[in-house]
A and B are shown apart, each in its own frame.
Chain A
């Protein structure tokens, strides 16, 4: 049988990305962080829209806030 050994490569790439700064677990738990600055051409909001398309397919009923904002410490 012809097995691909690309898993190691993918794992290394994932680890490299995680080395930067780990922020979000997605893609089966692979930590994900966009590169800083605008040089990458990646828009975080576009990435979020893409992510939310999948989230809404998996979880079509998302809990809406069921209680108002509360607290007595409004200082900003």
Chain B
């Protein structure tokens, strides 16, 4: 049975060896922000300039690259998956720089802000409307963190995808 914790520890060690410090995004970041649900999504936001060396390192670890573009890459190794988003736009670079560090059972890792996570979840949903899990995660994160969220930042993300009305509906 694949060991998720061990997979993440191994990935964190690989990132450290390659002098890069990505931020956790995706389903596990949702967990880190208090919405505990079952997920095996291991997703990281990585500085774009580290894409090539991390790609080589993942292949060395036995991963197979399913897809890779300037924006994202998907890797699998048997039943384990690992996805990367590349931070090459100013917004993503800012979110990566502002990610907070946290001690976890798998080691110290950086975790994207709730607002940034909602932004990426929205991007995922806009790119593929069948990913209703993203919408559920946004709804849950808004519900839990509503009083502490930077609403101006959130409005910026929803406006970016012409989804301002959706934010309004989700906040009702």
B105 near A68 with CB under 8 A, answer no
Complex formed: what's the CA distance from A21 to B66 in Å? 38
Residue A47 interfacial (CB < 8 Å)? yes
Q: Given the interface contacts A73-B127, A76-B120, does A23 sit within 8 Å of B38 by beta carbon? A: no
Interface residues of B (CB under 8 A from A): 1-2, 4-5, 28, 31-40, 66-67, 71-72, 74, 76, 79-81, 83, 89, 91-92, 95, 104-106, 116, 119-120, 123-124, 126-128, 140, 143-145, 157, 160-161
Contact B127 A48 (CB under 8 A): no
In the complex, residue of chain A having the shortest beta-carbon distance to the beta carbon of B143? A21
CB of A23 within 8 A of CB of B140, answer: yes
Partner-B contacts on A (CB < 8 A): 21, 23-24, 26, 32-34, 36, 43-49, 51-52, 55-56, 60-62, 64-65, 68-76
> What residue in chain A is nearest B145 (Cβ atoms)?
A36
Kindly state the separation between the CA atoms of A71 and B104 in the bound complex, as whole angstroms: 32
**Chain B interface mostly helix, strand, loop or mixed?**
mixed
6 nearest CB pairs, A to B: A71-B127, A68-B67, A74-B71, A48-B31, A69-B72, A45-B104
Contact A43 B38 (CB under 8 A): no
Q: Is the CB of B36 within 8 A of A32?
A: yes
Asked if residues A52 and B95 are in contact (CB atoms below 8 Å), the reply is: no
Q: How many whole Å from A63's CB to the nearest CB in chain B?
A: 9
- Chain A residues touching B, majority SS: loop
Known A51-B36, A62-B79, A76-B123: A70·B160 in contact at CB below 8 Å: no
With most chain B CB atoms within 10 A of its CB, the pick from A52, A56, A70, A73 is A73
Expressed in whole angstroms, the Cα–Cα distance for A27 and B60 within the complex equals 40
10 interchain pairs, CB-CB under 8 A: A23-B144, A24-B36, A33-B34, A33-B144, A46-B105, A47-B31, A51-B37, A61-B79, A69-B128, A76-B92
Say which residue of B28, B36, B116 sits within 8 Å of A47 (CB atoms). B36
Contact in complex: A70, B127 (CB < 8 Å): yes
- Chain B residues lying within 8 Å of A61, measured Cβ to Cβ, are 79
